[in-house]
Amino acid sequence: MRLLLIADTHVPKRARDLPATVWDAVDTADVVFHAGDWVEPGLLDALERRSQRLVACWGNNDGPELRGRLPERADVVLDGLRFTVVHETGASTGREARMAQAYPQTDVLVFGHSHIPWDTTAKTGLRLLNPGSPTDRRRQPHCTFMTARVQEGELLDVELHRLERHG
């Protein structure tokens, strides 16, 4: 099962659309995760149409329409692996221990907010993944997104993809 992880797209505020490379990844993914900060519902509509399966939440920059359509926290089990998607996880210091305590029934926590890519594992085994942003790099050297695979209950081939600055 092929996964695409994105967050903090801020379309159309920071970019008019997702980069073509990301749309190509949408087309080949079995599941697309979006960890919030859409800003406007147009991209949600497009991803709902184009994704085989979309698992998503709202972020702090998302207004009433997006919050009405998306949960604050989305949970899904894929091939025996338990995923949670949220936007914010607080400060980076102590994040693994805090999130392991907050999400004891989760194997993989996908989050956003900082626009800073993150891939760590808590002592409990919780994997924490932030794909960064494919459209708004902020102070990062590149816009980014992640891909991964799930097979027989294992998360495999987690890869951070770097893009040229977009939008």
**What is the average per-residue pLDDT within 3-31?**
96
The answer to whether residue 92 scores a pLDDT higher than 90 is yes
Q: For residues 115-139, give the mean pLDDT.
A: 96
The tally of domains found in the chain comes to 1
CATH label of the domain that carries residue 18? 3.60.21.10
Provide the pLDDT for residue 164: 74
| CB neighbour list of residue 129: distance below 8 Å, 6 or more residues apart | 5, 108, 109, 110, 111, 118, 119, 146, 148, 158
pLDDT at 46: 97
Domain that holds residue 25: 2-163
pLDDT of residue 14: 87
Alpha-helix residue ranges (DSSP H) falling in the chain = 20-28, 41-50, 64-69, 95-102
Average pLDDT over every residue of 28-54: 98
